[in-house]
Every structure is written in structure tokens, then in C-alpha cells.
Amino acid sequence: MSTTERLPEAIVCAAIEWQMRLRDHGAVTDVQQQLQKWLECDARHRLAWQRLQEMGGLFQASRLPDAAQTIPLLRRAEADLSRRRTLKLLGLGLVVGGATALVAQTSPTWRADFATATGERRRISLGVAAEVMLNTGSALDVAGQELILRAGEALVEGVHWQARCRFATCQGRNASVLLREHDGYSEIHVQRGEALVSTAVGQVRLSDGEGLGVSAAAMTPLGKGPVDPFSWARGLLVVSDIRLADFLAEAGRYRKGWLTCDDAVAELHLSGVFRLDEPDAMLGNIAHLLPVRIVERTRWWVRVVPVA
């Protein structure tokens, strides 16, 4: 991998969040182990981490400041003499205007036939064979008759199609199937019809309502979870008895920056129907449903904390 490669914004933001977690919980072995797994699962993660460590030296001799200070510092860096070096290290461009934003509102940098930016959903017609709905931060290639999900999530519908994700290939006939990429595994759900899923460890047929998690070494049936996997295609996030920490991780996919919570409220549970196109209202609803308040230092840094 080239050391000058432009990195996806989501990876850079994740690296900065890991820096914050290390600052607050660096002595916790579990945090160190989780960081190591994140670094090992993608070369781009390691590159982002390396750049972040170099960038920390621009602002502070020992480490990056806390989260509340980091974003303003990055904004002011635009006018600093070291701006060019900062941009090179981040692998991202900053927006210049009346109000400076941290990161340009651009589509993901994957070189794919079709891609969506953070918070964007896109419907793609591929003729009579299939129609695809791409979720936030996703990328899809079309190679002949095969669809290739490079990142993110896609809902594929059609009379006869074949789609491939990192760990599996799906063949559908008169079927509606969801494919989603995670770190280390792929997730597949059948909404309607039937799909043949082929993996390195075997084949399995899935029908209405069935789901499967696939890694390099295993296939794991997926039951009904706290998140409706198909609701995003209707512009909704539908959850049932979900942990607040997990809810925020899911909701955070649809907005830029950090969306986290205090450990004291992470295990609270909630249920509801939320509109993805109304992120501010979504956060406001949380405060009505749970004994929490929303701390918003900037539009890029939001934290849910206990009610004082």
C-alpha cells in the first residue's frame, strides 16, 4: 500500500476515536487488544494510525489533545504554516469557506462503479436482472453479470442475479437479499425468496427471514436481532430492546464525526422507529426515551451522558 494513499474519512475518524479511547482507558488490557485487532484487520487502519501518531506531534509533544480540543485544533491547522503537512498526513482535504468544516462532504474514496457518502442511500437499476439499493458509506462494482460489494451494505432484488461480498457469493432467483460487510465477517439476510450462499466452508440455502454470518472459517446462523436489517431501505432505523451503545454505533453510520456515550448509560435499552434523514431529531428522541442528555461540543463530536 502506498504511504500517500488517500484514506476514507470513516477510517480516519475511527483512528482518532481509538486515540481518544487509549487516552481515557489506555491501561485497560481489553482496549489495547481491541485496538490491535482493528489495526490487523486492514492495512488502511494501520496507515491511518501511523499518520495520526505523526500528526499528534504537530499539536502536542506527547499525544493528541482530548476530543473536545482535537477538532478545533484540526480546523485551525488549516491556516497554520504546517497545513500542507497536516493534509498529507490526514490523507483528507479540508473545506475552505465562511465556516471551515473538518472534512469535505465528499463521497467515499473507493474506486467503485457505484458509491455512497455518509448518510446517503442510492437506488441503482441494472436492467431487468436486478435492482440494488446502496446504504450509507457503501461501494459496489459490476463485473459482467456479477455484483461485487466492496464495502458497506446493499439490498439486491431481482429475478436472477449473483452477488459477491468478501466471504461469500449469493445467487438469487426472484429474491430480495441484503449483504453487509463488517470487520472480519459478512452478513447476509433474505427478505423475500431464496438464495444459495457459497462460502469457503460450504453452501447453504437461505429463505424468507433467514440470516447468516460468514467469516473465512465459519458460517453462523443469525436469528432476529435488535435492529431490523431492512428498515434502512425505507429510510428508517427500527430497533427493539437494543443497548444504547449498540444503537449509537448503528446510528453513527449515518452521520459524520463521533457519536458515543458514557459507560454509565451504555447498557440502557431502548426500542423505537427513527428517521435516518432527521439525525438531530433522532438524538432528541433518545433524551425523551431515556434518562440521558446530549452533549454536543461541535457538529462532529456528540456524546450521550447521564442526566445530572
Is 105 part of a structural domain of the chain? no
**Residue 109: per-residue pLDDT:** 37
**Residue 135: per-residue pLDDT:** 96
Rounded CA separation 5/161 (Å) = 34
One domain for residues 235 and 299: yes
CA-based diameter of the chain, in Å?
60
One domain for residues 213 and 127: yes
C-alpha distances in Å from residue 27, one per residue of 17, 22, 65, 282: 16, 8, 18, 34
Range of 120's domain?
Answer: 114-222
How many domains, in total, are found in the chain? 3
Over the stretch 36-50, which tens digit does the pLDDT of each residue have?
888 888 888 888 777
Q: Which of 198, 222, 246 represents a domain boundary (last residue)? A: 222
Over the stretch 50-91, which tens digit does the pLDDT of each residue have?
777 665 544 443 444 444 444 334 334 333 333 344 444 444
Three-class SS of residue 46? Answer: helix
One domain for residues 120 and 206: yes
What CATH number corresponds to the domain at position 300? 3.55.50.30
Rounded CA separation 24/110 (Å) = 32
Is 146 part of a structural domain of the chain? yes
One domain for residues 13 and 53: yes
One domain for residues 122 and 181: yes
Whether the full predicted model's pTM is greater than 0.85, yes or no, is: no
One domain for residues 84 and 157: no
One domain for residues 74 and 130: no
Decide if 196 contacts 211 (C-beta within 8 A): no
Is 107 part of a structural domain of the chain? no
One domain for residues 213 and 298: no
pLDDT score of 106 more than 70: no
Decide if 81 contacts 47 (C-beta within 8 A): no
Is 254 part of a structural domain of the chain? yes
One domain for residues 216 and 131: yes
**Residue 88: per-residue pLDDT:** 41
One domain for residues 197 and 258: no
As given in the structure block, the three cell numbers for residue 55 are: 500528526
One domain for residues 184 and 254: no
